[in-house]
Amino acid sequence: MKFRVTGNGLLLTYVTAFFIYLESPLAVIVFASFNSGQIVRFPPAGFSLKWYGALLDLLRNAPGMKPGLVDAVFTSLWLGVASTIGAVIAGTLGAYALQRAKVPGTQILRQLFLLPLLFPQIVTGIGLVLWFSALGGVPTWLRLVLGHLIITLPCVVITVTASLETLDRSLEDAAMNLGANRVATFFHITLPSIRSGVLAGAIFAWLTSFSNFTVTFFLFSGEMNPLPPWLYQDIQYYIDPSVAALSTCVLLITLSVLLMINRLQALGRVVSVSK
């Protein structure tokens, strides 16, 4: 009993320390955004909200401030939504085909779908630049969407495949024995049963797209500049705490999206149970 208590205490200490280690960069950013000095500093020299005021000046494109922040945020938002929709559709169908196909080589195909996670993103970015240059005439928005689709697709394939592996195949067989074709079975039986995997993949895909810098940096242009390259250009020559304030706001937006989706999923479970 004493050994068990000691082991539980050590495990709790390890998990707590590891959690602090993972979240400490976020805490540094949040505290640095309230710094009263002129440079990013931790611990802060004092408490002040002036850098959030400077962030408002950035949003208003005030004179002397780097323009384009609002456009960069909206570009990252719609780019994340567009790539997530494409990744969910293609990834769900691809995972379903790989899971249900009874042909040799499906394991190799599944690994090929995951290659964008294994390759360094700088290699992917350079390859996309060379490919689009060879094609010629590809608009910036399409380059960005296709590039982000490549890096977000594996997120959906992984989560949907995991959900399909735990799905009771007898439910599908029963539906088809009762007269439903394969398409109707997929939309009425399979898809509702794996919605948690689809939703998880969509969340990971949107977060991956919204925060991606490496591939985005190779594909953006002056006419369409997402938030990560905009931030890089802003801090290239001088870093002030307004960047920490902007990073804190982005962190709050991301957490709000996660909490909202989690709340909607919980409400969906309640509704399904009540029915």
**CA dist., res. 201 & res. 56, Å (int):** 33
pLDDT in tens, 205-236: 888 898 888 888 888 877 788 888 888 887 77
Q: Which of the residue ranges 4-8, 14-18, 150-154, 192-196 would you say has the lowest mean pLDDT?
A: 4-8
Checking if the pLDDT of 140 tops 50, the result is: yes
Q: What integer pLDDT is reported at residue 271 of this predicted model? A: 34
* The predicted structure's pLDDT at residue 267: 43
pLDDT greater than 60 at residue 265: no
pLDDT digits (tens, 9 = 90+) for 96-139: 888 877 767 677 777 787 888 888 888 888 888 888 888 888 88
Cα separation, 241 vs 53, whole angstroms? 11
Average pLDDT over the chain, rounded to whole?
79
Provide the pLDDT confidence category of residue 4 given band limits of 50, 70 and 90. low
CATH fold for domain 69-224: MetI-like fold (1.10.3720)
In the predicted structure, residue 148 carries a pLDDT above the cut 50: yes
